[in-house]
Structure 1
């Protein structure tokens, strides 16, 4: 998938004009082609983990003062990874972390900072040529799981998962994933939707979460 965006940080990710930013190439799938023992596609979200409440009526913690994120932790799937800033490529799509570093994720630094009001975006690879990468198990995450984001000012933004969904590339819902939010929200994205030898991963796994605490 490849969609463009032309505005910078002043516009904040989450307005409709920027909502076309889409991650690309978040998994090679090359290692799946080897067919070695234990090689299998990453887990995909169960239908029961789909978003039950599009208005997000559950408790939300007050927004935090701006501070860049430096690390993401998702205890339920054993993620503990540093975060790097992601910009846009020359073609206008969201860049991705270097695939050679399996335990590295990125955040869209021209958008909302995690913990601020709005929609913050974190993306990472599902695999690389060597095997599973940082978000390989993202599709196994369940509603109410905890996501923690360490921030440069020493605070930790704590998010609660509202839903885990998978979308085919041709049906990716830009506005639902990247659209404006009136509270602090987080999206965590990787490749998913099954794998084809001809075209690679068929879509994206998206985790929807909102701020429920800090420390």
Structure 2
């Protein structure tokens, strides 16, 4: 996947900056996490389990809860082990994400380009509520696990394998790109009345002055 046409031309990236030759985006870690802390710390975690549309402008609302789905069809809490997104060739293990002292979500290790992160302070994928899964779109060396996340559309399917042996299957409701300086934390991180997942990575142009991407891509999905 070539760099975005809108990306500024660059001869050679500075040390520590992404390689613009493929992917054109690095990390999502400018996302404000205040509302995340407010919403996902609310009673979903337990001590027994380790608990950034097609890129068009504008934000479409996530799909409403399915009236035919009962809360008791949610899965119990269990650590995710692998993310599978057949449409874009993702087959990746999980690591856990942590919060920095600033309250911002820390990225998965950049050395492993085929790795996704899960925020264990919130719900696990398949559990009632909003689970957060994030991954790099590229690194200083190559494209990474979520380089093609922008290809997902409403109705696409993906799954999360879990340590309890169950597989949580999800369908995409919508996907949107948001400016990092105007990120809708309440919409993205708010608790949900059904099992939902947010897949998050970077998008937009790479700002060399701050060494970060301008936007975040968020895929909204629910358990089926």
Give the TM interval when normalised to the shorter protein: 0.7 to 0.9
| Contact 2:65–2:193, Cα closer than 8 Å, also in 1 | no
Please state which structure has a larger fraction of its residues in strand. 1
Structure-1 separation of matches of 2:152 and 2:130? 20
Query: Which residue, 88, 102, 115 being the options, matches 1:91?
Result: 102
User: Per-residue deviation at 1:110?
Assistant: 0.8
Query: Which residue, 42, 45, 49 being the options, matches 1:11?
Result: 42
Structure-1 separation of matches of 2:31 and 2:57? 29
Structure-1 separation of matches of 2:172 and 2:99? 27
TM-score w.r.t. structure 1 length?
0.76
Structure-1 separation of matches of 2:171 and 2:200? 15
Task: Report runs of 4+ in structure 1 exceeding 4 Å deviation.
Answer: 4-10, 58-61
- The residue number in structure 2 matching 1:47 is 56
* Cα separation, partners in 2 of 1:10 and 1:100, compared to 1, 3 Å: same
- Alpha-carbon deviations, 1:36-80, whole Å to 9, x = none? xxxxxxxx8243996465424476472011111011011111001
- The residue number in structure 1 matching 2:223 is 211
CA RMSD of aligned residues (A): 2.6
* Cα separation, partners in 2 of 1:60 and 1:197, compared to 1, 3 Å: farther
Aligned pair count reads 183
For residue 87 of structure 2, give the secondary structure of its aligned residue in structure 1: helix
| Contact 1:60–1:211, Cα closer than 8 Å, also in 2 | no
Structure 1: tracts of 5 or more residues without a match: 14-22, 24-43
- The residue number in structure 1 matching 2:17 is none
Structure-2 separation of matches of 1:168 and 1:52? 16
